[in-house]
Amino acid sequence: MAAPTQPPAFQPKPLARSLTLDDLTHDLVWPKLLRVPHYCMRPQRVILALVYLVGMMLLGIAADRIDGNPTANELTGMFQRMALSGASAATGSPGEAPGSRVAKQIHDAFIGEPALLLKDAPLVALLIVPLMLLWTATFGGAIARSAACEIGQGVHLAWPQALGFALRRLPALTLALALPVLIVWAIVLSLSIGGFAIFSVNVLNILGGLLWPLFLIAGLIASVIMITYLVGWSMLIPSVACEGTDAIDAVQHAYSFVFARPLRLIIYLAILIFQLVVFLAIIAAVLWLAVHIAQTAALAWTTPRGPQALGGIPLHAPIEPPFGTPQPSLATRVTRGLVNFWSLIPAALLLAFPISYLWTGATMLYLAMRRLVDAQDFAEIWMPTLIPGTMAPVPPAPARSQAISDTGPADET
């Protein structure tokens, strides 16, 4: 008699994994831009941003000393004029062609203001500005490289490693930032020399009239380079940081992204700028509130000497001591210096956040545009084991051939 068959063992169905936001946005590009504040707050990037700010402040002080008039620094004046004119560029006077004021501001930013700076403060233009460019390329490249490794490979670089990469790639990083501007200046200088040689002579000016289309073509090329640079300059340094390539390839990559998907690039830039404004306002409010609570609570029950020590805290309106308070003692002045020193940390963090956000966001922007245009994954980041500018591995070194020993003539038998 056959044994009765056993019923199959009960096997519970596996529980379905809950759907997450990452599952819904995995194939989308723009949600990755929302991760920029998370990445830019890494300590190594904030440290690099702080050092960058200190260096730029020292270079600005050096520019003041070179000018000989700290109250009227030509370099600061140039940036102020550009900011004020840029803010009013959207409105034009009656009868002015649409966009002509914006075009004039672009011309002044690339040509007019640098020429004026070179004329009024040549040492600042030839010494301080190149040093600022090198400093920006160094720390921008370090922050971009650190962000690229974490975004693409999940690798957390310490700040000395990121800075070492930037120093090794400093020529490419610096030239990538400066090459489009140098090309514009070369075109303008060539046109100036050609105009002087042709239109200054009574007979040759007819030849200049015939050749005027060449002047217009050169002006068109310079205009395209300048406008494209304004839109895509932030992707130049991340191109070197992500691809390990040279300056020419970096410019080609960044410019090709602008030409291929300009509308998408503008949308991504708008997302990053809006996000920066929101988070900067939140951070400023939190830091100001922290300083305000600490100052007001500490001064609640102090003697009149309290405002002398705690009244000039940065990020906060100064508090004057009551009338008739004696002059501060040495201990009070030392206390005031220590309080101000510690209170500078929130102010420094508030200033460092936009710097870290700028290059972290620029790196994310470059990877997002590369994903759209070239269909490359975010994880495809150049590493030291790859050939620069490619994802191909470095070929192994050829094995050393064994030495052939000479044992005399061959046996003929």
For 251-308, how does the pLDDT look when each residue is reduced to its tens digit (9 = 90+)?
Answer: 999 999 999 999 999 999 999 999 999 999 999 899 888 888 887 787 777 776 667 6
pLDDT band of residue 6 (cuts 50, 70, 90) is: low
pLDDT band of residue 178 (cuts 50, 70, 90) is: very high
Instruction: Report which of residues 64 and 170 the model is more confident about.
Output: 170
The residue among 340, 286, 342 whose CA lies nearest residue 310 is 340
pLDDT at 297: 82
Q: Which two tokens stand for residue 313?
A: 């805290």
* pLDDT greater than 70 at residue 76: no
pLDDT at 223: 94
The pLDDT tens digits of the residues spanning 150-177 come to: 998 888 889 999 999 999 999 999 999 9
CB < 8 Å & 24+ apart, contacts of 216-223: 218/187, 218/190, 218/191, 219/187, 219/191, 221/187, 222/183, 222/184, 222/187, 222/188
Average pLDDT over residues 314-320: 64
Element (H, E) at 107: helix 100-107
Question: Whole-number mean pLDDT of the chain?
Answer: 81
Q: Which two tokens stand for residue 56?
A: 């730029």
pLDDT at 81: 59
**8 Å CB contact between 60 and 80:** no
pLDDT at 311: 66
SS3 393: strand
Alpha-carbon gap, residue 193 to 191, rounded angstroms: 5
* pLDDT greater than 50 at residue 213: yes
Average pLDDT over residues 1-24: 54
Average pLDDT over residues 234-263: 94
Angle (nearest 5°) at CA 174 between 255 and 74: 105
pLDDT band of residue 207 (cuts 50, 70, 90) is: confident
pLDDT band of residue 391 (cuts 50, 70, 90) is: low
Alpha-carbon gap, residue 354 to 37, rounded angstroms: 10
Q: Which two tokens stand for residue 299?
A: 């001064």
* pLDDT greater than 80 at residue 318: no
pLDDT at 58: 92
Average pLDDT over residues 3-23: 54
In eight-state DSSP terms, residue 149 is I
The pLDDT tens digits of the residues spanning 111-157 come to: 988 888 888 888 888 999 999 999 999 999 999 999 999 998 888 88
Q: Report how far apart, in Å, the C-alpha atoms of 384 and of each of 31, 132, 164, 367, 377 are.
A: 29, 28, 13, 19, 18
* Helical segments of 200-329, H only: 204-210, 212-232, 236-243, 247-260, 262-299, 306-310
pTM of the prediction?
0.80
Angle (nearest 5°) at CA 385 between 166 and 364: 50
